[in-house]
Structure 1
C-alpha cells in the first residue's frame, strides 16, 4: 500500500495495486496483443530543454490508458500471495520515484537524488565508503559460456539467484535518465542479465558505491536560446574480450544541454 502526499506533507490519498504473475501467460492463449506507451529518455530531455529555453510552465498528470485500465471480458481466478490473509483486501507497497527539478535564470537542474538514496539504502550500502569511479578502467566482463570454453569459471562462480542482479541493473537503467555518466557501466552490465556471475554483481555494487558519493548529480538544462544540435562520437577498437568487436560511444547535445 502506498500513500500519496501533498506538497506540504499532508496525506492526499492511499493507493494500492494488485500485481499478478504475467510471466506465466502464453501468447495466443492468455493474450493476443500487447501495448505499453513508454517515453524515451531522449524525448524527455529534449522536451524539458525546449520548455526551459521557451520558459514554458510544465504540469504533470496521470493518463488512464488501455494498458492499465482495460476491461476484462474473462473470469480471472488467482491464489493469494504468500503471507497475506483474507481480511477484506489485498495490499501491495507501491514505490514511486519522481524527478527533482531546480530552476535558475540560466539553467534547470534535473536529478533523481531521492531515487539514488533509496537505491543505496535498499542495497545495504548506506555505511559503505563511496567510490570515485563507477567502473574500473579496462574492466573486462565475460559470459559463463566463455568461461567454460577457456576452463576458468572456478574463481568466478555464477550467481545462485540472478533475480537480485536483474532487479538492481533494471533500477540502474532507469537512473541513466539523469545520470548519463553511468551509461557505459550499465550498458556493459545489462548484457549479462541472464547467466550472471559474481564478477558482474561486484561491478554493479561498485556502481552503487559511486552513486553514494554523488546522489544529487544530474543534468543541467541550459536556458540559452541556442537550440543547435551537435554530436560527438568515439570508439575503442577491439574492446570486447569475447568477440573482439569495437565499442562506440556518442553524445548528442541540443544547444548546451546533453540529451543523448
Structure 2
C-alpha cells in the first residue's frame, strides 16, 4: 500500500478540509455537464423548476382530452429528441449527492423517460441553467463532537395529477449536515 496523503478528489467529488468539517463539491462535474449539453452560453436561472408546474404523460393528456387540441398534443411529443432527454436525465442523479435542491425535479422528470414531452425536455434544460448559476454550491459535513439527528417531512396531498397520490419530501441531518 502507498499513502497518497489527504484526499482532494475522489469519484467526482472535490474534498476540502477545514476546522468546521469536510466540504464536498461536485463543481467540476457540474461544469462538465454544462459543457457537454452546450448550455455554456445559456442565461442562468434562479430556481431549478418553475413554480406550480405540473407534468403529465402524453397518454394522460389524450385520455383526459385536455383543452389543447390534438395537433398541440402531437407537437408536444418528442420525436428524435427523445434520446437527448434520456441522456440529460441519466447524468443528473449523480449530481444530487451534493445538490439536494435539484433532487425533486430530477426524480420527477425521471418518471417520464419512456415517453417524454417537449415540456419535460424544457424542464430538464432549466435544471442545467440553474446548475450553471449555482455550480459552486457545496455541502458541509460538520465535525462537531455532539451527534444530533434531525428529520423533517412534508406531504402535498393529492398533487400528482395522474394518480392523485400525495408527494412527500423529507430531509435528514446529522450534526446539522444534510445526509439524505
| SS at 1:127 equivalent | coil
- 2:62 aligned with 1:143: no
| SS at 2:173 equivalent | strand
Larger Rg computed on CA atoms: 1
Aligned counterpart, 1:124: 38
In proportion to residue count, which structure has more helix? 2
Unaligned runs of 5+ in 2: none
Q: 1:102 to 1:60 in 2, by over 3 A?
A: closer
Aligned counterpart, 2:167: 247
- 2:140 aligned with 1:220: yes
C-alpha distance in 2, partners of 1:226/1:183?
28
Normalised by the length of structure 2, the TM-score is: 0.87
Normalised by the length of structure 1, the TM-score is: 0.61
Unaligned runs of 5+ in 1: 1-6, 8-56, 62-96
Identify the structure with bigger relative contact order (alpha carbons < 8 Å, sequence gap 6+): 2
CA shift for structure 1 position 259: 0.5
The answer to whether the 8 A contact 1:224-1:256 is kept is no
Q: 1:183 to 1:109 in 2, by over 3 A?
A: same
The C-alpha deviation readout for 1:47-106, integer Å capped at 9, x for no partner, is xxxxxxxxxx66999xxxxxxxxxxxxxxxxxxxxxxxxxxxxxxxxxxx6211111111
C-alpha distance in 2, partners of 1:60/1:116?
14
In proportion to residue count, which structure has more strand? 2
| SS at 1:192 equivalent | coil
